Structure formats: structure tokens, C-alpha cells
């Protein structure tokens, strides 16, 4: 295999991009994902990207819940 052939193998389109990581994190948060996508995540994905995505999602989720509770409590006068 030549140098050019090897570079094509390492830059395969099956690698995860930002959109794919976000989609995988959202599906994982909802608890739904196909076995095929899960296997692809474990084989091609960067663990650090999924960890960061999960932490960011968790932070945003907690902030959203806190905001909703704040609005509800403010409107009820409690």
C-alpha cells in the first residue's frame, strides 16, 4: 500500500464529527440508539469527545431545569 492509500484509510468519512457526537450524546441521554450506531460510536468515536459532550449536555440540562423551576416559583409567588 502506498503512502497515499494509507492516508485515505485514516481520513475515512466514518469518523465522528461535531454533529455526529452531538447526535450520539442526545440519543444516549434519551436512552434510545440502534445497536449499529452504538457499535460505530465505540469503534470510530473519540472517547474524550463523548465525555466532553456528555458533561456539556448535563450542564445545559441542569441549567434548563433550574431556569424552569425559577420561572414557576417566581410566577406562583412562593
Q: The whole model's pTM is what? A: 0.68
78 pLDDT tier (thresholds 50, 70, 90): low
3-class secondary structure, 31: coil
CA angle 67, 29, 50 (to 5 degrees): 105
Angle (CA) 75 76 78, round 5°? 115
Residue for cell digits 468515536? 45
41 contacts 16 by C-beta, under 8 angstroms: yes
Q: Which residues contact 14 (CB under 8 A, 6 or more apart)?
A: 40, 44
**27-77 confidence digits (pLDDT tens):** 888 888 888 888 888 888 888 998 999 999 999 999 999 999 999 998 776
Q: What is the pLDDT of residues 19-37, one digit of tens each?
A: 888 888 888 888 888 888 8
pLDDT in tens, 2-19: 444 444 444 445 577 888
Amino acid at each position: 500500500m502506498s503512502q497515499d492509500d494509507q492516508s485515505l484509510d485514516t481520513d475515512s468519512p466514518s469518523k465522528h464529527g461535531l454533529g455526529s457526537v452531538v447526535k450520539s450524546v442526545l440519543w444516549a441521554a434519551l436512552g434510545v440508539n440502534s445497536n449499529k450506531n452504538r457499535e460505530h460510536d465505540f469503534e470510530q468515536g473519540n472517547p474524550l469527545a463523548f465525555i466532553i459532550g456528555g458533561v456539556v449536555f448535563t450542564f445545559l440540562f441542569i441549567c434548563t431545569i433550574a431556569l424552569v423551576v425559577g420561572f414557576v416559583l417566581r410566577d406562583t409567588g412562593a
